[in-house]
Chains A and B, each alone.
Chain A
Amino acid sequence: MRLVHNEAQGGWVLLAPERVFKADAIAAEIIRRCTGEVTFGEIVDDLAKSYAAPREKILADVSALLRGLADKRLLEL
């Protein structure tokens, strides 16, 4: 799975076999942080520091996105 910014397509896209997902700015920020070297908790902490939303909301959004991608076998948690 690759996250790329593509001018011709108008923004961030997530590339996977036979699928292209348009990623909004929030999804892009979450996925950018999935380096394989940080924990789930560290991703949430980093986002909470960078954005003004409550930690529980960020935790819920990150869980929903990453669980969805893991179910599609595009990501390992």
Chain B
Amino acid sequence: MLHKPLGLLAELTHRCPLGCPYCSNPLALDAREDELDTATWLRVFREAAELGVLQVHLSGGEPGARRDLVDIAAGARAAGLYSNLITSAVGVTEKTLGALAEAGLDHVQISIQDSEARSADHIAGYEGAFARKRALAAAVVRHKLPLTVNAVVHRANPDRIGEMVDLALALGARRIEIAHVQYYGWALKNRAALMPSRDQVERAAAAVAQLRARHHGGIVIDAVVPDYYARYPKPCVGGWGRRSLNVTPAGKVLPCHAAESIAGLQFWNVREHSLADIWANSPAFAAFRGTAWMKEPCASCPRRDLDFGGCRCQAFALTGDASATDPVCHLAPDHARVAELAAVQTDAAYAYRRM
């Protein structure tokens, strides 16, 4: 059964001034000269809306690096999509933000790397990033746009979740996402330097529960589970080719942002196919749609329509087989591997994300 997608992740560029070691972009970043032009993005938005997509996330890299960002935001509004700007704040001036608001941007999400500047800038690999984030957050609120803070959590900062929530409140955010790092792309490369201990993860979960109770009605606290310590896998992207799609800067359409890491998948490009054609017929999308591809224990598991066997990219990265049960599931034959990998924690320097 072919579902209609709800969300489009538009990776406008892989250019970014920051070097966050947990970035989920692929190691092989798309070159500037291969980026889709404005007109193509506007066509993609129109096709997405026809397909049933409701929300577009303007992301990257750093979307603020695109000189046509305001035209792109206007195009999203014209296509009837709810638009969310996902930004580091470095590369978006107050002037641009004003123009974005006027062009109909619906929402802004700003990442924070820690609750205080020195650590935050060290993690981002960019001195002064923290101050820029504070400034843009204030501008977002002044322009009456809703603000979400995305706080990325890993071994360097899990005991400061409370402070990060306080910071989000002080910045006027309505929502904070406590985003425990997921291991794809650059994050996978830096896994040993980022992986928290089980103790840290349990303390973080307890902290989130308390903070939710304390801040109910004041700020919404969403949390992404660190699945290396989970019992069951996450329902990755709401199921393969089911709820969302991702367009890369060079125009490839992916079922999820890490899908290029799976060997042998054939991706179609918006330069050659319509989005509707890609959604329905692209071999990459067909590869793991539904449940027919599943092996045991997923194939006969009562949870198979809840979590879809977990993450294909993670199964491939950890077992070499994209059809395998995501090893984070305690029922997976390869589950012991996850604990072994989680135990590898080093003090190695970050390999900062650079083009």
Listed in ascending order, the chain A residues whose CB lies under 8 Å from chain B are 1-2, 4, 6, 8-9, 13, 15, 17-18, 20, 70-74
With a cutoff of 8 Å between Cβ atoms, the chain B residues found around residue A8 in the complex are 4, 50-52
Q: Do the beta carbons of A9 and B52 come within 8 Å of each other?
A: yes
Q: A13-B54, A20-B54, A73-B175 are in contact. Are A2 and B217 (CB under 8 A)?
A: no
For the complex, what is the distance from the CA of A56 to the CA of B52, rounded to whole Å? 38
With a cutoff of 8 Å between Cβ atoms, the chain B residues found around residue A13 in the complex are 54
User: B51, B106, B218 — which one has the most chain A CB atoms within 10 A of its CB?
Assistant: B106
With a cutoff of 8 Å between Cβ atoms, the chain A residues found around residue B52 in the complex are 6, 8-9
With a cutoff of 8 Å between Cβ atoms, the chain A residues found around residue B80 in the complex are 4
Q: Do the beta carbons of B148 and A17 come within 8 Å of each other?
A: yes
Q: Do the beta carbons of B82 and A2 come within 8 Å of each other?
A: yes
25 contacts between A and B (CB under 8 A): A2-B82, A2-B106, A4-B80, A4-B82, A6-B52, A6-B54, A8-B4, A8-B50, A8-B51, A8-B52, A9-B4, A9-B6, A9-B54, A15-B54, A15-B55, A15-B106, A17-B175, A18-B148, A70-B217, A71-B217, A72-B220, A73-B174, A73-B175, A73-B218, A74-B174
With a cutoff of 8 Å between Cβ atoms, the chain A residues found around residue B177 in the complex are 18
Looking at the assembled complex, report how far the CB atom of B97 sits from the nearest CB atom of chain A, in whole angstroms.
Answer: 17
With a cutoff of 8 Å between Cβ atoms, the chain A residues found around residue B148 in the complex are 17-18
Q: Do the beta carbons of A73 and B4 come within 8 Å of each other?
A: no
B84 CB–A CB distance under 8 Å: yes
With a cutoff of 8 Å between Cβ atoms, the chain A residues found around residue B220 in the complex are 72-73
**B217-247 CB contacts (< 8 Å) to partner A:** 217-220, 222
User: A6, A18, A71 — which one has the most chain B CB atoms within 10 A of its CB?
Assistant: A18
B109 CB–A CB distance under 8 Å: yes
Nearest to A72 among chain B residues (CB) is B220
Nearest to B50 among chain A residues (CB) is A8
For the complex, what is the distance from the CA of A6 to the CA of B51, rounded to whole Å? 11
For the complex, what is the distance from the CA of A9 to the CA of B216, rounded to whole Å? 31
Q: Do the beta carbons of A18 and B4 come within 8 Å of each other?
A: no
**B45-61 CB contacts (< 8 Å) to partner A:** 50-52, 54-55
With a cutoff of 8 Å between Cβ atoms, the chain A residues found around residue B50 in the complex are 8
For the complex, what is the distance from the CA of A1 to the CA of B146, rounded to whole Å? 9
Give per-residue flags for B85-111: 1 if the beta carbon is below 8 A from chain A beta carbons, else 0.
000000000000000000000110100
User: A2, A15, A17 — which one has the most chain B CB atoms within 10 A of its CB?
Assistant: A17
With a cutoff of 8 Å between Cβ atoms, the chain A residues found around residue B146 in the complex are 1, 17, 73
With a cutoff of 8 Å between Cβ atoms, the chain B residues found around residue A72 in the complex are 220
With a cutoff of 8 Å between Cβ atoms, the chain B residues found around residue A17 in the complex are 84, 107, 109, 146, 148, 175
Looking at the assembled complex, report how far the CB atom of B244 sits from the nearest CB atom of chain A, in whole angstroms.
Answer: 11
Chain A to chain B: the 8 pairs with minimum beta-carbon distance, closest first: A8-B52, A73-B174, A15-B82, A71-B217, A17-B107, A17-B148, A73-B220, A2-B82
